[in-house]
Amino acid sequence: MYKNTVFDDFGSLVFNEKLMEERLPRPVYNTWKKTIAKEGTLDRATADAIAHAMKTWALENNTTHFSHWFHPMTSTTAEKHDSFVEPGDSGEPLLRFSGKSLIKGESDASSFPSGGLRATFEARGYTYWDFTSPAFIRDRVLYIPTVFVSYNGESLDKKAPLLKSIEAISTASTRVVNLLGDKDVKYCTPVVGLEQEYFLIDKSFYEKRLDLLLTGRTLFGACAPKGQELEDHYFGNIPSRVNSFMNDVNIDLWKLGIYAKAEHNEAAPAQFEIAPIFSNANIAIDQNQLIMDILKKTAEKHNLACLLHEKPFSKINGSGKHNNYSIITNDGQNLYSPGDKPSENIRFLLFMCAFIKAVDTYPELLRMASSSAGNDHRLGSSEAPPAIISIYLGSYIETVLYNIYKSDKNIESHIDKNFNPIHGLSYIPHDNADRNRTSPIAFTGNKFEFRMLGSSLSASLVNTVLNSSIAEALNEIADSLEGIKYINDVRDKALSLCQEIISNHKRIIFSGDGYSKEWIKEAKRRGLPNITSFIESVPSLLDDKSIHLFTSLNIYSEKELRAHEDIFAEQYQKTIELEAKTLIKICKNEILPLMVKELKLYGETYNACNKLAPNYLVETIKKISTFIENINKNLIVLNEQLTLCNQIPYVYEKALKYHNDISPLLCVIRESIDKYEIIASKDIYDIPTYTDMLFKKL
C-alpha cells in the first residue's frame, strides 16, 4: 500500500522465509518448514538446494564471499570469509556454494578461548549451520549463523548451549500446557526483546584517550560540574548529529530485517538507547550482536565513537541491556499473559511460579551470567540494579499470588477500574503493574524484564540460564501433574503446587527500593545472596545444583562447565591486567609529565616572585608534588603486585588476586589524577575531560 518509503528495503539483505518460499522448489521449502516446526530433519539434498538458492540471491546482491558467523566465548562474533569463486574442471572459474559448505565449516580453533577443552595441538574447530536463524548480507559477504564446536563435539561458543536450552524450555513448557488440557500446542519458544544502551562521544576525544581506546572505559577523569542532576537528558530532544547517526543505524537494521523500534536519550549525558521488537531468543541475540556492531561502525562513519562498556564514565549512569523475556506457544499464546482474570488463569499462575522458583533457586548463576569485570562497576551503584537478585511483580499480581498462598478464597485482586486520566476516551489501556526501576527483575504486564545484564555482553548466557532453570521448574511441575485423570483434579493439584512454590520461594519477591541500604540488610535476613563481584560469582557454575541442572537437561557437560569457569576467570583477569598496564602507561607518558610541566610553570613563577610569592603558588606546588609522589609510590606497588599476581599458576586464584589487590590500586591512583585534573591549567592539561566528552561536539 505504501510505496517509496524508507521501509521499501526492509529485509532486503536477509534470506528470510518469504524469499525461501519464492526461490526454493516447493518440496525443499516444505522440508525446511517442517524442520523449523520440529517435525522433521534436513537432508543433504535439501541443504544443497537451499545453498544454491542462497548463492544465487547473494550473488545478485553483489556478494563475493560467504562466511560462517559464530559467537565464540568472547562478547563479539567471529567470521572467516571464503570467496564463491573456484576453478572448475575445465580450468574456467566457477561460482560454488554447496550444501556441505552451508552445513559445515572447519576453522582453526586454537586462537579462541576454550578453557582447556582443547589441547593447543588439537586445533580443529567446526562450525555447523544454525538453520533457525536467517542468513544475511553485509559488506559483500553472505553470513551464515552457526554454532562452534571442538573436534569432540564440545561447545566452544555461546550459541550451541543457548539452542539446547531453547529446546529444553520448549519441551518443558509444552508438557505443562498439554497437561493443562491444551493438546494443540506442539512447541513453545522463549522470546526476547533487548534494549541496548550506549554512549556516543566525538571521535577526536576518543582517540586522545588511550584508556577508552584500549579498555573501553575511562580509568581517570574528574566529574564534570554538570552531571545528570537536572534530569534534562532522559527522553530529551535528540541532538541532530545523533539523530542522523540513528537514522543510518536504523536503515541498516531495517535492511537486515531487524525491527528497530524505539530510540531515545537515556538518563546520563551523551547516553542513548535503541530497542528492536522482540523475537525468538536465538534470533534476538543474533540481532543484538549485529546491532552492537552496526552502532560501532556507523559511529565511525559519523566521526563519533560508540561506547558499549557498562561504565565508561565514573559517577554517572552506566549502560545495561534490558532483557525482556516471555514464552510463546507455536499458536501464538503468550504464557506470561495474565488475561482478564489472572486468578483463574491457572496456566499463567503456574508459569509465574516456575519463574519465581527458577530465579530463587539459581540467583548466583543469573548474577554471574549477566556480568563481567565491566558490569561490576555498574551493579549496585545507585543507578542500576543491585547485585542482589529479587523479583518485582507489581502489587496486583503480588496480591493474587499471596492470596493463593494464604488459601484466600477471594484470590482476585483489583486494578482501579475507574482509572480515567483524560475525559472523553472510552478505551484506556491500563498496565497491571507499575514500573520499579530499582528491581533487577520486574514483571511488566506480560513479560519479565531482566535489567542486570551489562551493555557490552552477549545475551546468550543469561537466556541459557533462564531457559534451563525455568525448564527444570516446569518439568518438576509436569511430573507432579502427569497421570492425573480429570482436568479439575489437575487444576486443584496445580493450585496446590503454586501454593507450595510461593511458600518456599516468596523471599525472592520484593517490591521496595532496591537501591536502599535497608534492602541489603533485609536481603541478608532473607538469606538472599549478595555477590558483589563477578569473579566471586563464577564458581557458582560448579555448584552441585548447577552441574545437575545443566547436565540433566543436556545443556553443558561438567567438563564444559569447568572450561567456562576457566574462561571467565581468565577474561576477568586479563581485563584488569589490561586496565592496569594502560593506566601505568598513561601515568608515565602523559599524566606525570603534565604534572611536571605544571610544576615547572608554578616553580618558575614562584622564583620570579621572589619572597612575595602568594600562598596559592606554594599550596599548588605542594599539592602537585604530593600527587606526583602518590602516583609514583602507587605505581611501584602496582608493578610489584602485578609481578606477584602473575606468579600464581591457578587461573581462578590469579583472577581473585587481581580483584582483591590490583583493582583497588587502580582506584587509589585515579584519585590523585582526578584531584590534579580539578586544579590543572587548561593550557597544560590537554587530555579530553568529562566535560569535553559528555557535553561538547554532539
CA 79/CA 72 separation, integer angstroms: 10
- Give the 3-state secondary structure of residue 95: strand
CB of 234 to Mg ion, least distance (A): 13
49 touches which of Mg ion, ligand ADP, none (CB within 5 to 8 A by kind)?
A: none
Tell whether residue 166 is a contact of ligand ADP (CB under 6 A): no
Contact partner, 367, from Mg ion, ligand ADP, none, Cβ < 5-8 Å per class:
none
Burial of 39 (0-12, 13-18, 19+ CB in 10 A): exposed
The site string for ligand ADP over 237-266 (x = CB under 6 A, - otherwise) reads: -------------------------x----
Q: How far is the CB of 225 from ligand ADP (least distance, A)?
A: 30
Task: Give the cell for residue 621.
Answer: 606546588
Cα 160 versus chain centre, distance: 17
Binding mask 179-208 for ligand ADP (x = CB under 6 A): ------------xxx-x-------------
Smallest gap from residue 449 Cβ to ligand ADP (A): 6
The closest of 604, 605, 625, 601 to 614, measured between CA atoms, is 605
- Looking at the Cβ atoms of 7 and 235, the one nearer to Mg ion is 235
Q: At its nearest, how many Å lie between ligand ADP and the CB of residue 280?
A: 10
For the purposes of burial, counting CB atoms within 10 Å of the CB of 340, is it exposed (0-12), middle (13-18) or buried (19 or more)? exposed
Count how many Cα atoms sit within 13 Å of the Cα of residue 247 in the half-sphere of its side chain. Answer: 9
Looking at residues 56 to 95 of the shown chain, list those that interact with ligand ADP (rule: CB under 6 A): none
In angstroms, the CA 248 to CA 299 distance is 9
- Contact residues toward Mg ion (CB under 5 A) are 322
Q: Which is nearer to ligand ADP, 337 or 551 (CB)?
A: 337
Position closest to ligand ADP via CB = 193
Closest distance to ligand ADP from the beta carbon of 195 (Å):
5
Q: How many CB atoms lie within 10 A of CB 395?
A: 15
Within 448-477, the residues that bind ligand ADP by CB under 6 A are 449
Name which of residues 422 to 451 contact ligand ADP (CB under 6 A): 446-447, 449
Assess 133 for contact with ligand ADP (CB under 6 A): no
Rg of the chain taking only CA atoms, in angstroms? 28
> In one letter, which amino acid is 171?
T
Given the complex with ligand ADP, which of 68 and 447 has the nearer CB atom?
447
Residues 69, 70, 75, 80, CA torsion sign: negative
Among the listed residues 46, 314, 326, 571, the single contact to ligand ADP using CB under 6 A: 326
SS3 68: strand
Task: Indicate which single residue of 148, 278, 348, 519 sits in contact with ligand ADP (rule: CB under 6 A).
Answer: 278
Q: Contact at 8 Å (CB) between 327 and 174?
A: no
CA–CA gap between residue 458 and residue 292 (Å, rounded)? 10
Q: How many residues bind ligand ADP (CB under 6 A)?
A: 16
Q: Residue 324, interface with ligand ADP (CB under 6 A)? A: yes
Residue 380 exposure: Cα atoms within 13 Å on the Cβ side? 16
Grid coordinates given for 209: 584517550
Which of 31, 287 has the CB closer to ligand ADP? Answer: 287
Amino acid at site 599: L
If the CB atoms of residues 308 and 473 are measured against Mg ion, the closer one turns out to be 308
Q: Does 625 bind ligand ADP (CB under 6 A)?
A: no
Residue tagged 563475493 (cell numbers): 64
Work out whether 275 is an interface residue with ligand ADP (CB under 6 A): yes
Q: Which residue, among 622, 618, 627, has the nearest Cα to 595 in the 3D structure?
A: 627
Q: Which of the residues 329 through 358 are near ligand ADP (CB under 6 A)?
A: 334
User: Three cell numbers at 319?
Assistant: 549502560
Q: Which residue has the cell 559448505?
A: 101
CB of 435 to ligand ADP, least distance (A): 8
Q: Which residues bind ligand ADP (CB under 6 A)?
A: 191-193, 195, 262, 275-278, 324-326, 334, 446-447, 449
